[in-house]
Amino acid sequence: MMTATGRQVLISALGTLAMGSAALAADTGTDVAQTRSGPVQAVSRGTMQSYFAIPYAAPPVGDLRWRAPQPAIPWTAPLANPKSGLACIQTAGSVFRATAESEDCLRLDIHRPVGKGPFPVMVWIHGGAFVTGSASVYSDPTPLVSRGVIVVAINYRLGALGFLAHPALRDADGSSGDYGIMDQQAALRWVRDNIAAFGGDPKNVTIFGESAGGFSVMSHLASPGSAGLFHKAIIESGAYGVSAQMTQAELEARSRDALDHVLAEAGPDAPAACRDGVQTAACLRALPLTLVQGRLMKAFNGAVPNIVPSIDGKVLPRSVKATFAAGANNKVAVINGSNENENLLFLALNELGQRLSAKPPVLDSANRSFLLTTEAYAKAAETLSAESGVPVAELTGRAYPLSAYGADIALQPSLAAAAAGTDSTFSCNGANVSARIAAQGSPVWMYEFRDQTSPPLVGRFGGKYVLSLPQGAAHASELPYVFNMIDLGSPDRQALKDTVTGYWASFARSGDPNGDGRPAWPKYQSAHIQALDVPARGGVAPMAASAFRTEHKCDTVWARQTF
């Protein structure tokens, strides 16, 4: 069980921002916006107006559980919600699990500049490995909105409720699963049909997301059902899942195993209709929420530890990779990128988990016994070798020898393991995605976020960093440079944030991140990647794509990876 202290440490930078009191905005004509389902009232936040927890679909409960989202239930009195809606049900073991969650969660927030527009629209899809996350974490997009864009942040079904597949749940066309991506498509249709009431331009919509949100963006680029619902795309650390998608049959088999385990364990707590070994749609939809929220979410994540949208036959008739290879993807302008030290976040989480599990917990960074050992690095290399086909000797010898990772012997195993994971999972996959888009003729700009001074996202408690492992430009480190989440603490980092949000907003407006005096960002087609860094390490400037591929061993160790 995660302690309150542990949760506070883990979600330090990603906590939901507190909201001010609700008040009407003046002289904009949008105090109350009329959607097709009913009116919604603004919360005034100075130069920004926010409309919170707007239902974009009916609650996916009861007979609507594990179905495609249905239209929102109309209302008449103006919705005047002062904050974001509850998160969708999360996986029990997730360290970033939201504390307030509900099965009735298909809602979105709209944040718009004060004024009349029409404004470009950016739809944010949160990350969280498809098992956790919420629009509420991103409730202050002022850095983007202040640049004249509307930001829409959405919730979508997660874990077993969003991605479980089962023969009993097949739609009339034979598909099952990917309900979370269907939710995202429903939200995009809602934006198309309603955003003009908020001063937004429905013909200028950019989707953007990080991690699972980034892979969601890639799924929309591949999904026929998403065609025409957006016009530009930003992928932040989203290429990690391009070789991990399951077929419908594979996912159904694993889903059945998880359900069999849960129902056997539940015994008399399971619905009577589910106890005879025949799992019908009716019995599955009648499962008590307590059973789903606890045991099933955990069991499904155990059966499918790396959840990504499956090849369900409807949302994704074939894999994202196969769709792009066939040139059948939705072709729009794209920003795509990753962070220099992605996997340091996951090693930091591992260290923190061990520290919190100790009795008593050890929150002293000077105690370095929780760092990855040489033996643990060797085992990690064996696992990566089994997954990738790269010989262990090549990984631990020529490619990622411990001696190449500084003079601090205690840190070497962690840094080497993080580098191998970053290169194989994020960096090279991301570069291959950019190369494919460029070869298709669509404009694509690629970045690498490289700020080694970024505030760590996990491991701070009481103003003190309790881990031995530095995080650098780890997974999700760029998020506070896009949204207001934490105090970045230095003029150089704030300047980098201004540049990043300027790029993002300009791209949403015109399809080109350049302009307004920012450092020139050449297209990936010119064989360049934009380094996003503070001045001490080179600042914001183009780097040769060949240098990036060499640094991350994309043309040697990971040359067998394709997209």
In the structure, what pLDDT confidence band is assigned to residue 11 with cuts at 50, 70 and 90? very low
Provide the pLDDT for residue 299.
95
What is the C-alpha to C-alpha distance for residues 512 and 442, in angstroms, rounded to an integer? 12
Residues 238 and 165 grouped into a single domain: yes
Contact present, 518 and 530 (Cβ < 8 Å) = no
Give per-residue pLDDT as tens, 261-319. 999 888 887 887 787 667 899 999 999 999 999 899 999 999 999 999 999 999 999 99
Query: Taking every pair of C-alpha atoms in the chain, what is the biggest distance, in angstroms?
Result: 68
pLDDT greater than 70 at residue 73: yes
Residue with token string 């650098």: 472
344 and 318 belong to one structural domain:
no
- Lowest-confidence pick of 21-35, 82-96, 491-505: 21-35
pLDDT tens for residues 194-238? 999 999 999 999 999 999 999 999 999 999 999 999 999 999 999
Q: Is 393 part of a structural domain of the chain? A: yes
321 lies in the same domain as 363 = no
Q: Is residue 54 part of a domain?
A: yes
Say if residue 326 is in the same domain as residue 440: no
Residues 326, 358, single domain; the answer is no
- Single residue among 330, 360, 387 that ends a domain in this structure: 330
Look at residue 278 in the predicted model and tell me its pLDDT.
75
Tell me if 265 is assigned to some domain. no
Give the structural domain span for 158: 4-245+313-330
Mark which of 330, 365, 386 sits at the end of a domain: 330
pLDDT computed for residue 287 by the predictor: 92
What pLDDT does 462 receive?
87
Name which residue leads in pLDDT, 94 or 414: 414
pLDDT band of 30, cuts 50, 70, 90 = low
Query: Is 60 exceeded by the pLDDT of residue 451?
Result: yes
Q: Specify if 302 maps to a domain.
A: no
pLDDT at residue 274 in the model: 83
**What is the pLDDT, as a whole number, of residue 435?**
98
User: What one-letter code names the amino acid at 552?
Assistant: H
Given a cut of 70, is residue 29 above it in pLDDT? no
Give residue-wise pLDDT tens across range 163-191: 999 999 999 999 999 999 999 999 999 99
**Residue 190: its pLDDT value, please?**
98
Going from the C-alpha of 34 to that of each of 38, 74, 108, 342, 350, the distances in angstroms are: 6, 12, 15, 42, 47
Please report the pLDDT score of residue 546 as a whole number. Answer: 97
Residues in the chain, overall count: 563
Do residues 55 and 190 share a domain?
yes
Where residue 135 sits, what CATH number does that domain have? Answer: 3.40.50.1820
Whether 381 and 493 map to the same domain: the answer is: yes
317, 410: one domain: no
pLDDT digits (tens, 9 = 90+) for 521-533: 999 999 999 999 9
Residue 23 has a pLDDT of 27
Structural domain includes residue 98: yes
- Token digits of residue 508: 């949403």
Query: Average pLDDT, stretch 528-552?
Result: 97
317 and 441 belong to one structural domain: no
Last residue of a domain, one of 330, 365, 398: 330
Inform me whether the pLDDT recorded for 15 exceeds 90. Answer: no
The answer to the question of residue 221 being in a domain is: yes
296: in domain: no
What does pLDDT average to over the chain?
93
137 plus 108 within the same structural domain: yes
What is the domain count for the chain?
2
**Is the predicted pLDDT of residue 2 greater than 80, yes or no?**
no
Mean pLDDT (whole number) for 415-431: 98
In a domain, 118, yes or no: yes
pLDDT band at residue 121 under the 50/70/90 scheme: very high
CA dist., res. 261 & res. 107, Å (int): 32
For residue 432, CA distances in Å to 56, 325, 361 come to 35, 11, 42
- pLDDT of 7 above 50: no
Across 116-125, 275-284, 330-339, least confident range: 275-284
- In this predicted structure, the answer to whether residue 75 has a pLDDT above a threshold of 50 is yes
Same domain? 185 vs 64: yes
Q: How far, in Å, CA of 511 to CA of 152, rounded?
A: 18
Residues 14 and 75 in one domain: yes
Short-list 331, 415, 337, 328, CA closest to 371: 415
C-beta contacts of 350-356 below 8 A and 24+ residues apart: 351/414, 351/459, 351/467, 351/468, 351/469, 352/6, 352/9, 352/10, 352/458, 352/459, 352/466, 352/467, 353/95, 355/466, 355/467, 356/3, 356/5, 356/6, 356/9
